[in-house]
A = this chain, B = another copy of it.
Amino acid sequence: MGVRMKDIARDLGVSVITISKVLRNHPDVGDETRGRVLARVKELGYRPNLAARSLVTGRTYLVGLVVPDLLHPFFAEIAKSLSAALRKHGYYLIVSSSEEDPDLEEQEINQLLERGLDTLIIASCRSTVDLFFRIEKQNTPYVLIDRALPGLSTNFVGIDDEAVGMVATRHLIDIGCKRIAHIRGPETSPGIRRMEGYKRALAQGGLKIIEDYIIAEPKGDVETRQRGAEAMRQLLSLKTRPDGIFCFNDPLAMGAMNYALDQGLRIPEDIAVIGCGNLHYDDALSVPLSSVNQHSRRIGEEAARIALAIINSKIPPKIESVILQPELVARRSTQRHSAKQATSRARARG
């Protein structure tokens, strides 16, 4: 196809090895020779054949990413920052979406392993660890992100999900909510830990934990927002309805808010709502939604850093765990004490 080392070597009257050394910055080459080689390399537009290089070095220069949903802005942003960070070091990212389906996730991971990767980065929707033991057997290093797995001590980058639950719930307490409900997420580590944070904040705030106020994410093959609406329906049918709701994520919160608004309730006057994710359209909603920032970009960057560290060290480096702290983003949906602003848009909604 293109021009090979061999061509340049013949051209310059040196050996192929010398070319190879120049390109890899090996010291065993004289300055004059190095200069001639580099000039010719540029002139001929030589590009190394990575397949050949892979074959002998055993590296593929590829990193795989498996996430539950590539369309979710949180994961999309992770993918983007990860890809950019890897690219800077000559590595490329292959992405994969598991659609929150453990079986599909396994299939995707197997396909990626078959492809041959230097590292695998996974936000797993699985609750068991067996698959990961198998990955370890295959000698492909991996980094978990977002979702930790109990009983698996491995590299991890994510947010402190208990703190997420605490920050959000404490904010609701701070604005004066007394009956705070929680719409849960899936039964993965973020879902569990955010609920724990919610409970802990309630306890610290001197509020009782009411089991009826904790709604499991409704099942069914419908959009997340519809599940949020269904959860809100359940909450509103209770004898004493809550006055504040912490939702596992923003789409759930959107669904819940819209259902409440449709029922004629006012947000935040009747019910305050806070989500998590700080999605980029949160402030354009009918009622701008308070949320908790998850630092998706940082997660991608840290995951890239760890991945490269693993790849570049001969011996397995020590296991790293990066836990980021969440950040409250307060908007109108929890703005309990200034009813002034809730005018023009509320009217337009009609």
Decide yes or no: A139 and B281 within 8 Å by CB, A55-B51, A71-B80, A95-B79 being known contacts: no
Chain A, range 112-129, C-beta contacts under 8 Å to B: 112-116
Q: Do residues B71 and A345 form an inter-chain contact, with CB atoms below 8 A?
A: no
The reply to whether the CB of A284 lies closer than 8 angstroms to some CB of chain B is yes
B-facing residues in A39-57 (Cβ within 8 Å): 47-52, 54-55
Decide if A1 touches B95 in the complex (CB within 8 Å): no
Could you mark each residue 103-116 of chain A with 1 if its beta carbon is under 8 Å from any beta carbon of chain B, else 0? 00000100111111
Whether A31 sits at the interface, judged by CB under 8 Å, is: no
Q: CA of A61 to CA of B92 in the docked complex: distance in angstroms? A: 14
B254:A281 contact, CB within 8 angstroms = yes
CA–CA, A49 and B51, complex, Å: 10
Question: Would you call A170 an interface residue if the criterion is a C-beta within 8 Å of the partner chain's C-beta atoms?
Answer: no
A278 at the interface (CB under 8 A from B): no
Compute how far the CA of A285 lies from the CA of B345 in the bound complex, rounded to whole angstroms.
11
Q: Which residues of A, 248-266, contact B by the 8 Å Cβ criterion?
A: 254-255, 258, 261-262, 264-266
**Shortest distance in angstroms between A194's beta carbon and chain B's nearest beta carbon?**
22
A293 interface hit (Cβ, 8 Å): no
Given contacts A1-B58, A92-B115, whether A348 and B267 have CB atoms under 8 Å apart is yes
A169 at the interface (CB under 8 A from B): no
Stoichiometry, as copies per complex, reads: 2
CB of A312 within 8 Å of the partner chain: no
CB distance from A332 to the nearest CB of B (A): 9
Are B138's CB and A2's CB within 8 A?
yes
A55 touches B58 (CB 8 A): no
Please measure, in the bound complex, the distance between the C-alpha atom of A280 and the C-alpha atom of B280, giving whole angstroms.
Answer: 13
Q: Closest chain B residue to A134 by CB distance?
A: B45
Q: Is A311 an interface residue (CB 8 A)?
A: no
- A223's nearest neighbour on chain B, judged by CB, is B280
Q: Quick one: which of B76, B116, B285, B350 contacts A51, CB cutoff 8 A?
A: B116
Contact of A262 among B94, B97, B345 (CB under 8 A): B345
A87 within 8 A of partner (CB):
yes
Chain A interface residues (CB < 8 Å from chain B): 1-2, 47-52, 54-55, 58, 60-61, 70-71, 73, 76-77, 79-80, 83-84, 87, 92-97, 108, 111-116, 138-139, 223, 225, 254-255, 258, 261-262, 264-267, 280-281, 284-287, 344-345, 347-350
20 pairs of residues in contact across A and B, judged by CB atoms under 8 Å: A2-B139, A47-B113, A49-B116, A50-B114, A50-B115, A50-B116, A51-B55, A61-B115, A70-B79, A70-B80, A71-B76, A71-B77, A71-B80, A71-B280, A83-B96, A93-B94, A254-B284, A262-B345, A266-B347, A286-B287
